[in-house]
Amino acid sequence: MAHRWQNDLTHKDITPEPLFWNRRKILAGLGGVGLGAIGGGMAQAEASPLEPNTWEEVTSYNNYYEFGTGKTDPSEYAGQLTTSPWSVEIDGLVDRPGSYGFEQILSEMTLEERIYRFRCVEAWSMVIPWQGFELSDLLALAGVQAGAKYVAFETLLRRDEMPGTRYPVLDWPYREGLRLDEAMHPLTIMATGIFGKPLPNQNGAPLRLVVPWKYGFKSIKSIVKITLTDQEPPTSWNMANAREYGFYSNVNPTVDHPRWSQATERRIGGGLFARREPTLMFNGYEEEVASLYAGMDLTKNY
């Protein structure tokens, strides 16, 4: 077994990490220095720590339309999905195209834990402790060629295990895409676990994308195919409704969805009287990713 996660981690063991900070940065930037020793810029971050949601919240309120469109459908029906053996086909503009087994991938990657804010386009949010590796490390395994400009992703389509695919809600298989620079950004991870445990099926087992500065639907689950291409790839939600769902789908409180405001969000699990919170530009990761979109009109490239 190549798994490097700790299976005995519980919610209590997970230290809430300040906004904008992930473990790699803490390790790289701080060495042995305690968090209390950091001045200035940390003060504001410390005031708004990313306190994770509970296991129960993260695994029972989901979107995974292959199992139905209701929030509890995935936890109810995704258990029947066979996730082992699993392999990912990597093709297109790569030096080493082919089928990469999940265990083989894990054995080549260094798993890290990162706690990220996760914001759905429907204006709810959660904070989730993920385990995974950087997508760029996986792409390096396959060897990205110079002409590649985009990365396309596809979810498994196995109709007999996915009751929701009987309905034409989306054009199956579920498809997503990123521009290559977005895919190579260190915040973009392939997640293989939550809370120190392997991903539950409803969260996209055995491996799914997490792009923390984008709306949740970009974070495609149960990936079986990755294609490097020079064309912007078609994506499921954009095909379903291009006016409502653009290719970029960056979290942006100043650009409303045609049918609702994107300015605030409701934190799942916040309780009956929880206030809606203001949504942050790029979901709070503006400092890290704004430069990717320099000069772009984000009202047009939504």
> What residue 65 binds from Mo ion, ligand MTE, none (CB within 5 to 8 A, per partner kind)?
ligand MTE
Of 77, 217, 245, 302, the residue at the interface with Mo ion (CB under 5 A) is 217
235 belongs to the binding site for ligand MTE (CB under 6 A): no
Note whether 249 binds ligand MTE by CB under 6 A: no
The string of DSSP letters for the chain reads: ----S-TT--GGG-PPEETT--HHHHHHHHTT--GGG--TTHHHHHHSEEPPPPHHHHHHS---GGG-SSTTHHHHHGGG---SS-EEEEEESBSS-EEEEHHHHHHHS--EEEEEEEE-TTSEEEEEEEEEEEHHHHHHHH-B-TT--EEEEEE---GGG-GGGGSTTS-SSPEEEEEHHHHHSTT-EEEEEETTEEPPGGGTSS-EEE-TTB-GGGS--SEEEEEEESSPPP-HHHHH-TTT--SS-B--TTS-BTTB--SEEEETTS-TTPPPEEPPGGGGTHHHHGGGGTT--TTT--
Least distance in Å: CB of 22 to Mo ion?
A: 22
- What does the per-residue mask of binding to ligand MTE show for 98-137, with x meaning CB under 6 A? --------------------x-x-----------------
Confirm or reject binding of residue 64 to Mo ion (CB under 5 A). no
Q: Which residue among 125, 155, 235, 252 contacts ligand MTE (CB under 6 A)?
A: 155
CA–CA gap between residue 211 and residue 209 (Å, rounded): 7
Residues 7-46: x/- map of binding to ligand MTE (CB under 6 A)? ----------------------------------------
| Beta carbon of residue 59, minimum distance to ligand MTE (angstroms, whole number) | 8
Backbone angles phi, psi at 95, to 5 degrees: -75, -30
Asked if 219 is part of the footprint of ligand MTE (rule: CB under 6 A), the reply reads: yes
Q: Does 227 bind ligand MTE (CB under 6 A)?
A: no
Residue whose CB is less far from ligand MTE, 144 or 209: 209
Closest distance to Mo ion from the beta carbon of 291 (Å): 26
Shortest reach from residue 123's CB to Mo ion, in Å: 10
For β-strands 87-92 and 223-229, DSSP reports them as parallel
| Binding of ligand MTE by 52 (CB under 6 A) | no
Task: State which residue, 158 or 179, has the beta carbon closest to ligand MTE.
Answer: 158
In the chain, what is the straight-line distance between the N-terminal and C-terminal CA atoms, in Å?
A: 42
φ, ψ of residue 291 to 5 degrees: the values are -65, -20
Name the residue whose CB lies closest to ligand MTE: 216
Does position 247 interact with ligand MTE (CB under 6 A)? The reply is no
Q: Which of 52, 68, 206, 216 binds ligand MTE (CB under 6 A)?
A: 216
Residue placing its CB nearer to Mo ion in the complex, 5 or 217: 217
Q: Which of residues 59-78 bind ligand MTE (CB under 6 A)?
A: 62-66
Task: Tell me the C-alpha distance between 249 and 298, whole Å.
Answer: 9
Q: Which parts of this chain interact with Mo ion (CB under 5 A)?
A: 63, 120-121, 216-217
Q: Which parts of this chain interact with ligand MTE (CB under 6 A)?
A: 62-66, 118, 120, 155, 174, 203-204, 216-217, 219-222
